Structure 1
Amino acid sequence: MTWIAALPMYNVTPALAFEWREWLADVLLRVKPACRIVEPDEELHGFWRRPNLLISQTCGYPLMHGLHKQVQLIATPRYDAPGCEGADYSSVLVTRADAPFDTLAACRDARAAYNQDDSNSGMNVFRHAVAPLAQGGAFFSAVVRTGSHLGSLRAVAENRADVAAIDCVTFAFIADEMPELARQMRRIGLTAPSPGLPLIASNTVPSQTIEALRDALNDTLATQPERVKRLRLQGFSTLTLADYARIEQLEDEARAAGYPRLA
């Protein structure tokens, strides 16, 4: 079997994607068996389920909605980004810098943007934040799915939407890599925290290889400090599926409040 690896989640610019790929190559040099870094050639839900997947990164929402049956957790990165605490992260609620909204409550009848239906940071925690404010299952005048956090930020900047929830790690990378876009945003809140995006492997990967990957992840923190700083990595935590149940709890709380979807 030819093992494969990819890190598809925080590549907000080509330069940052290159840094992540170089870091992943460094990790893989320290483990056996040999593994090939690839660009996913199919929809990510299918890619994550490949039996020859040695390491990748997913979102906690799909993890808890079926993906956990085909994969195992390696580790959860800890990031140096506002809104992160340990292995937990939140989403930053943003509007345009010149918009009249100072709080999420003030965004009633505004236009919301979100990235994907299966995103914890762009949809699930956003829904949870809005749920106590919604009446009759509705809060916004319009909701648009953009396909990515970057797409949501651009929708807000271009006045096609008024508010969005952006993964705080993504937002920190946007501030680093695209400061002109970040300056067009104004933060108006922070969502509830939940466990960050985990590194995963196929269930076919032997347990000793998982341990070797964990050792390699930590080893790379010391070898290239400037790269680690640019990637905002602080370390890695070993979490369980029970820890990620927090994501389902946020979903259940929004549904119990009569707000099953962004609306």
Structure 2
Amino acid sequence: MNWIASLPMYNVTPALAADWRAFLADVLRDTAPLTHIVEADEPLHTFWRRADLLISQTCGYPLMHGLHEHVQLVATPEFDAPGCAGPNYSSVIMTRADGPVHSLETSRGLRVAFNQLDSNSGMNALRHVIAPLSRDGSFFSEAVVTGSHIGSLTAIAGNRADIAAIDCVTMAFVRDGLPQLAQSVREVAWTQASPGLPLVASSDVDASTVEALRSALDNALRADPVRAKRLRLKGFSTLSLTDYARIEQLENEALAFGYTRLA
């Protein structure tokens, strides 16, 4: 089979996108040199389900809501970023630097921004932390879907929203590469932790290739320590779907409060 590969999740700046592509090329060099590195030109939910997908990165929420039937876990990156502990990560809840929000409670009745309905970091983890504060399934006055964490931060900075939960790895990359945007927002609180964004392969990839990919990830990390530092990569863990059930736990705890959606 002619394989494809892509790392679409943390391309916060063009420089980071180039580093991720070079890192992926090193991973593939020893495992599947004829694999095509591609930019996903179709919805990610469709892309991740392709039978010819050798390796890509997804979010834990769609993984636990059907995607696990089509892919297998390869590894979970460990990042050097505030809010990360081993393969686990949290979201940092941000507001406008000169805005009125100084705690979660003071954001009641204001506008929330989030990247996607199926995002663990932007939606699910935030829903979980807001749920105990909700009343009759409501807390915010308006919910704005922005399409990306950068979009959510831009909405806050531009006074189109008041609060958002941002993947802590993304926020670290924003501080590294987009200082003006970083300075326009400030931290309010943190969500609880859950396993980070996993690297996955199609279920059609054989076990020996998956093991080779795991070795190649470690080799690519060691091959260029300077690049690894720019990517904030410390290593990789091998997790199971049982570990990722933590994401469903966060969801179920929010639902127990009757808080089914950000509202």
Determine if the TM-score, normalized by the shorter chain, exceeds 0.5: yes
Partner of 1:218: 218
Which digits, 9 at most, give the CA deviation of each residue in 1:99-151, with x for residues without a partner?
12111111101110000000000000010010000111110111100010000
Q: CA deviation at 1:33?
A: 6.1
Of 88-97 and 98-107, the range deviating more from structure 2 = 98-107
Matches within 5 A, 1:70-109: 70-109=70-109
What corresponds to 1:141 in structure 2? 141
Gaps of 5+ in 2: none
Q: Does 1:248 align with 2:254?
A: no
Identify which range, 27-36 or 82-91, moves more after superposition.
27-36
The equivalent residue for 1:34 is 34
- Match in the other structure for 1:49: 49
Residues 1-263 of structure 1 mapped to structure 2, 5 A cutoff:
1-32=1-32, 34-263=34-263
Q: CA deviation at 1:222?
A: 1.4
Distance 1:190 1:242 in 2: 24
When structure 1 is superposed on structure 2, of 135-144 and 54-63 the one drifting more is: 135-144
Alpha-carbon distance in structure 1 between the residues aligned to 2:132 and 2:217: 40
Q: Give, as a single letter, the amino acid of the residue that structure 1 aligns with 2:110.
A: A
- Cα distance in structure 1, aligned partners of 2:145 and 2:32: 40
1 CA distance for matches of 2:221 and 2:8? Answer: 20
Question: Which segment is superposed worse, 13-22 or 27-36?
Answer: 27-36
Alignment deviations for residues 212-261 of structure 1 (CA, whole Å, 9 cap, x no partner): 00000011121101100000000000000000000001000000011000
- For 1:243 and 1:170, how far apart are their aligned partners in 2? 22
Q: 1:100 & 1:156 partners in 2: Cα distance?
A: 12
Could you list the structure 1 runs, at least 4 aligned residues long, displaced by more than 3 angstroms after superposition. Answer: none
- The number of residue pairs the alignment matches comes to 263
TM-score by length of 1: 0.99
Describe the SS at the equivalent of 1:30: helix
Give the share of equivalent positions with the same residue, in percent: 64
CA shift for structure 1 position 41: 1.6
Q: Distance in 2 between matches of 1:174 and 1:142?
A: 25
TM-score normalised by length of structure 2? 0.99
Q: CA RMSD in A?
A: 0.7
